[in-house]
Amino acid sequence: MLLSNAMCAQRDWACKNQRRFAHAYNMFAFLKVPQQHAKGSAFAPSCNGVTVCSHYDLIIIGSGPAAQKCAVDSAKLGRRVAVVDKLGMIGGVCVHTGTIPSKTFREAVLHLTGFRHQGFYGRAYQPWRERISVPDLLLRVQKVEKTETDIVVDQMRREGVEVITGTARFAEADEDDAFTDATSEGAVRVMVLKTDASHESEASAYRHLDANMAKMALSAENVLIACGTRPLRPAHIPFDGVRVFDSDQLLWGGVRDVPRELMVVGAGVIGMEYASMMNIIPGTNVTVIDPRDKMLGFADTEVVQALMYSMRTKGARFLLNEKVERVEKTDAGGSGGRGRVVAHLSSGKKVVGDAMLYAMGRQGNTDSLSLGSVGLETDNRGLLEVNDFYQTSNPRVYACGDVIGYPALASTSMEQGRRAALHMWHGQHAAALAMALDDGAAGAAPADHSMIRSPMDGGFLGRSSEHLFPYGIYTIPEISMIGKPEAQLTEEGVPYEIGVADFTELAKGQMLGGADGFLKLIFHRETLQLLGVHAIGEGATEIIHIGQVVMAMGGTVDYFRNAVFNYPTLAEAYNVAAHDAFRKISL
């Protein structure tokens, strides 16, 4: 009897670990082909060819930063976690079409153009002697993308998170037969679908939306929606992935040549990042078109003006308060051998170029989730509303990351995923305590403005957990900020003063070739409390964190006057800006 029990225990242990490691091995090597599960694994055929899986504590739809953080933190607490994402998209939008590729694209542009060294060797300096092509830039992007995917896969494998490839949606009422009786009452039910590979297209921004072949039936106590967003593609814009494309299509290889005349529609973060990158490639002229009267409206006005000036000196043109009514493409016959793209604007203007990058916003990847099955609805952009703990109106369903809207940053998405896991497994009190510790840091000044939000307060949807975080915009030159801009403080009637350090006056700035840029400290004139830090120039997204720590502790500008910084560094700008600040308030 004892031997029998021991053998059963050994068999159960072996099955469990075989399932974990064999499943991980099959699913994690870029997950090119859906794998069949061996007899005796956790997956057993049920009805109509659908594989029925055992119950999970947590199912996560998506595998980006929010999903990874929530999955790993939950697994470390001993929870059984499954992550479901589309074939070839492990790592999410962040790794494949968003943060990682776009920032790598930027580094490739800076390297191949020799832009960082032109301050010393002149604008004619270019280490890459041939005309730069898009495949030249994507070579670096694809290498980093592969490495990052490996890192994500390895991290989840080490923590025992199960990864399932396919398109997830919530189960509908007529699919109850696909679930076992072991499913706990009230559990959330999820179907995983697959698409015939012959119907997939890398030129489509909507691949997998038509998935309708049932693959698995899952259930869980909680579900996290972290499926990200995709570029908005209006019907009146003739996307072809070659001459008219969005930010995803630019990375997919359909665009071969860097356009000599590029129109960028949309002066938001994504549009301005790519516009500024293309703008420094020799032989390329960029025209930015946007219906708003100000680009990057949440950023400090002086910073935006500095960016526009820098881009204009390299040939960029800005057409604000202009809406694109329609777009037409002409063939190569009447344009000296080149097909052209013509944008007809609301003012009657026509803008002609070789290509158009359309970047007027993004849309949530929620339209294939059957959200009605769990009582959820989205706004007109497919985004979900959540509370302070990232719960939707269905308390068993959470949502994090870009799919809940602003700020839609990889950095904040990670923290959202962590806090969602904290609330799932430790309850409201623990999650609220974590938020209180973050937002009410020791030493914070008691003034009304001590609860400082980032530059666009209206985007918080009432979440008290996101008062203070840095924002980075990877334009050339790069921008970063934390806290409030001058315009907002003026509107609020706060008596403030500023201190500014110009990068060209720093020794490190000269070593970098006379790098353009500055650091601005905004502080309360009476209490000296630091209210905002705004930077533009090389290293801006790195040095912003010094200001973040001081602001989180409720510190004053006096700290920077007394602190000793390494020399020569860009961080020294804090000390220079502080001395400028005290000069102004002593006048």
The CATH number that applies at residue 559 is: 3.30.390.30
Find the mean pLDDT for residues 143-160: 95
- What the block records as the tokens of 212 is 């309708």
Task: Tell me, yes or no, whether 356 and 317 share the same domain.
Answer: yes
Q: Which of 420, 435, 456 is the last residue of a domain?
A: 420
Q: Determine the pLDDT at residue 36.
A: 34
Cα separation, 390 vs 454, whole angstroms:
19
Check if the beta carbon of residue 368 is closer than 8 Å to that of residue 169: yes
Which range marks the domain in which residue 268 is found? 233-331+339-360
Domain total of the chain:
3
Q: Which of 420, 446, 467 is the last residue of a domain?
A: 420
Query: Does residue 15 surpass a pLDDT of 70?
Result: no
Mean pLDDT lowest for which of 118-132, 281-295, 395-409, 560-574?
Answer: 118-132
Cα-Cα-Cα-Cα dihedral sign, residues 463, 393, 80, 430: positive
Stated pTM of the model: 0.86
Q: Determine the pLDDT at residue 474.
A: 97
281 in a known ligand binding site: no
273 in a known ligand binding site: yes
Say if 533 falls within a structural domain: yes
Q: Determine the pLDDT at residue 459.
A: 39
92 in a known ligand binding site: no
- By DSSP bridging, strand 229-231 and strand 81-85 are unpaired
Task: Tell me, yes or no, whether 209 and 277 share the same domain.
Answer: no
Tell me the CATH number at 183. 3.50.50.60
435 in a known ligand binding site: no
Cα separation, 442 vs 430, whole angstroms:
18
Say if 29 falls within a structural domain: no
Cα separation, 407 vs 414, whole angstroms:
12
Which DSSP string corresponds to 365-401? Answer: TTTTS-GGGGT----TTSPPP--TTSB-SSTTEEE-G
Task: Tell me, yes or no, whether 260 and 371 share the same domain.
Answer: no
Which of 238, 332, 276 shows the shortest CA–CA distance to 516? 276
Task: Tell me, yes or no, whether 221 and 253 share the same domain.
Answer: no
Task: Tell me, yes or no, whether 512 and 550 share the same domain.
Answer: yes
Say if 34 falls within a structural domain: no
146 in a known ligand binding site: no
103 in a known ligand binding site: yes
Angle between helical axes of 99-113 and 269-279 (0-180°, round to 10): 20
Between these two residues, 195 and 552, which has the higher pLDDT value? 552
CA 172, chain centre distance (Å): 31
Q: Determine the pLDDT at residue 2.
A: 39
- Determine how many CB atoms are found less than 10 A away from the CB of residue 225: 31
Task: Tell me, yes or no, whether 240 and 194 share the same domain.
Answer: no
272 in a known ligand binding site: yes
Task: Tell me, yes or no, whether 323 and 372 share the same domain.
Answer: no
119 in a known ligand binding site: no
Say if 189 falls within a structural domain: yes
Say if 49 falls within a structural domain: no
Say if 312 falls within a structural domain: yes
Mean pLDDT value across the chain: 83
Say if 378 falls within a structural domain: yes
Q: What is the pLDDT of residues 433-478, one digit of tens each?
A: 555 555 544 334 333 444 444 444 433 444 555 667 899 999 999 9
Task: Tell me, yes or no, whether 213 and 319 share the same domain.
Answer: no
Check if the beta carbon of residue 505 is closer than 8 Å to that of residue 573: no
Task: Tell me, yes or no, whether 394 and 273 share the same domain.
Answer: no
Three-state DSSP state, 531: strand
CA 499, chain centre distance (Å): 31
532 in a known ligand binding site: no
Cα separation, 519 vs 529, whole angstroms:
17
Q: What is the pLDDT of residues 77-118, one digit of tens each?
A: 999 999 999 878 999 999 999 999 999 999 999 999 999 988
Mean pLDDT lowest for which of 67-76, 83-92, 135-144?
Answer: 83-92
Find the mean pLDDT for residues 506-531: 93
Task: Tell me, yes or no, whether 396 and 351 share the same domain.
Answer: no
Which of 487, 485, 461, 492 shows the shortest CA–CA distance to 471? 485
Say if 44 falls within a structural domain: no
Cross-strand bridge partners of residue 305 = none
472 in a known ligand binding site: no
> Which positions ≥6 away from 562 have C-beta within 8 Å?
none
Task: Tell me, yes or no, whether 278 and 353 share the same domain.
Answer: yes
Find the mean pLDDT for residues 161-183: 75
Task: Tell me, yes or no, whether 250 and 277 share the same domain.
Answer: yes
Q: What is the pLDDT of residues 376-434, one digit of tens each?
A: 999 999 999 999 899 999 999 999 999 999 889 999 999 999 999 999 998 765 655 55
270 in a known ligand binding site: yes
Position 16 confidence tier, pLDDT thresholds 50, 70, 90: very low
Q: Which of 420, 447, 468 is the last residue of a domain?
A: 420
